[in-house]
C-alpha cells in the first residue's frame, strides 16, 4: 500500500503547475515596516524588494458599485482585472518563498463573473501553489433575495449564496519556515479553524469608520494565527479602514497597509494609535 502511494505521487507529481521561484528571502526596508502608505499599490509595491513579505491578506474592491472614498467601483471587467492583476503581480514578487497570499472574493452573479475562479486561474498560471479554499459563512444575507433570476421557473434560476471565499495560495513551497516559540495558535483554535468553513458575522461598525466593505476582526485573527508567526510581516495592498493592520499589530506581527484613499489611511492610523508598540 505504501509503495503504491509513493508510485502515485511520482506519476501524478504534486502541484505539477507550480513554478520555481528564488529561495532567498530578504528583509523589508525599515522605512516600509509598520507603516500605512497612501497611494496606488502597484506603484508603492514596486519600491519593495523581492521575497520580503510573509503573508498577504486582502480583499480587493469587487467592482460591484460600492461607495468608496477615492475609488470608482464600477469599471469594465477587462479594466478591473487588468489593474487587479498588475497589483497581484507585484504581490507575488514581494511575497517570500514559502509565503502565503489569502484573497477574500465573491462572484458577481448579476454579471456572471466567477471572480473567485478567475483569480484562482490567474494564481495558478503564475505558478503559485493552491493550498486551500475557505468558505466564510456570513449568514447576514439570509433575509435578502437578489432581483435577478427567474421566479419559480427553470428559465433562469438564481441560487442564493450566504458566503464568500478565502483563496489561499503559497509561493514556491507550502511550508513556511519559522521558530516554534513564535507560534501563537492554540490547540483548540487549530482544531476548530482547520475545518474550512468559518461562520463569522460580518463587521457591524462600518458606518463608524465610513467604509462600505470591512473585514471582521475575527476573520483576520484566524488568518494571521493560522498562516503566520509572531514577528512576521503582513501586507494588505487594499487596506481600507485598516482591519488587517490593526489585528496584525494586536497579534505582534509587523504590517504594511496600502490604500489609495488618504481618508481611509488616516482612519487606519487612528485605529493603530490605540495599541501599544512592540519591539
In a domain, 146, yes or no: no
In a domain, 150, yes or no: no
**For the stretch 83-97, what's the b/e string if a residue is b when 16 or more beta carbons lie within 10 angstroms of its beta carbon?**
bbbebbebbbbbbbb
User: pLDDT (tens digit, 9 = 90+) per residue, 33-57?
Assistant: 999 999 999 999 999 999 999 999 9
Q: What per-residue confidence (pLDDT) applies to 239?
A: 95
In a domain, 115, yes or no: yes
User: pLDDT (tens digit, 9 = 90+) per residue, 219-254?
Assistant: 999 999 999 999 999 999 999 889 999 999 999 999
The CATH code of the domain that includes 265 is 3.40.50.150
The domain in which residue 63 lies consists of 25-141+161-174+183-272
In a domain, 278, yes or no: no
In a domain, 119, yes or no: yes
In a domain, 259, yes or no: yes
In a domain, 18, yes or no: no
**What average pLDDT is seen over the chain?**
88
In the chain, how many domains are there? 1
Grid cell listed for 212: 462600505
In a domain, 130, yes or no: yes
Amino acid at each position: 500500500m505504501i509503495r503504491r502511494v509513493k508510485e502515485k505521487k511520482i506519476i501524478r507529481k504534486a502541484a505539477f503547475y507550480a513554478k520555481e521561484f528564488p529561495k532567498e528571502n530578504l528583509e523589508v526596508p525599515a522605512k516600509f515596516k509598520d507603516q500605512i502608505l497612501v497611494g496606488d499599490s502597484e506603484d508603492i509595491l514596486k519600491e519593495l524588494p523581492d521575497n520580503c513579505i510573509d503573508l498577504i491578506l486582502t480583499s480587493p474592491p469587487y467592482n460591484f458599485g460600492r461607495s468608496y472614498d477615492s475609488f470608482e467601483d464600477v469599471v469594465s471587467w477587462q479594466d478591473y482585472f487588468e489593474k487587479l492583476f498588475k497589483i497581484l503581480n507585484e504581490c507575488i514578487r514581494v511575497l517570500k518563498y514559502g509565503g502565503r497570499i489569502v484573497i477574500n472574493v465573491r462572484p458577481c452573479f448579476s454579471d456572471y463573473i466567477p471572480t473567485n475562479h478567475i483569480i484562482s486561474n490567474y494564481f495558478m498560471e503564475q505558478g503559485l501553489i493552491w493550498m486551500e479554499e475557505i468558505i466564510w459563512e456570513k449568514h447576514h444575507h439570509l433575509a435578502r433575495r437578489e432581483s435577478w433570476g427567474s421566479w419559480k421557473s427553470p428559465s433562469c434560476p438564481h441560487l442564493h449564496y450566504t458566503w464568500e471565499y478565502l483563496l489561499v495560495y503559497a509561493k514556491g513551497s507550502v511550508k513556511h519556515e519559522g521558530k516554534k516559540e513564535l507560534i501563537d495558535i492554540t490547540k483548540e483554535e487549530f482544531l476548530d479553524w482547520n475545518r474550512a468553513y468559518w461562520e463569522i458575522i460580518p463587521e457591524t461598525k462600518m458606518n463608524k469608520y465610513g467604509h462600505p466593505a470591512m473585514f471582521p476582526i475575527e476573520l483576520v485573527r484566524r488568518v494571521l494565527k493560522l498562516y503566520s508567526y509572531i514577528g512576521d510581516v503582513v501586507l494588505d495592498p487594499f487596506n481600507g479602514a485598516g482591519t488587517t493592520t490593526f489585528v496584525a499589530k494586536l497579534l505582534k506581527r509587523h504590517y504594511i497597509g496600502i490604500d489609495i484613499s488618504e481618508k481611509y489611511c488616516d482612519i487606519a492610523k487612528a485605529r493603530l494609535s490605540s495599541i501599544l508598540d512592540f519591539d
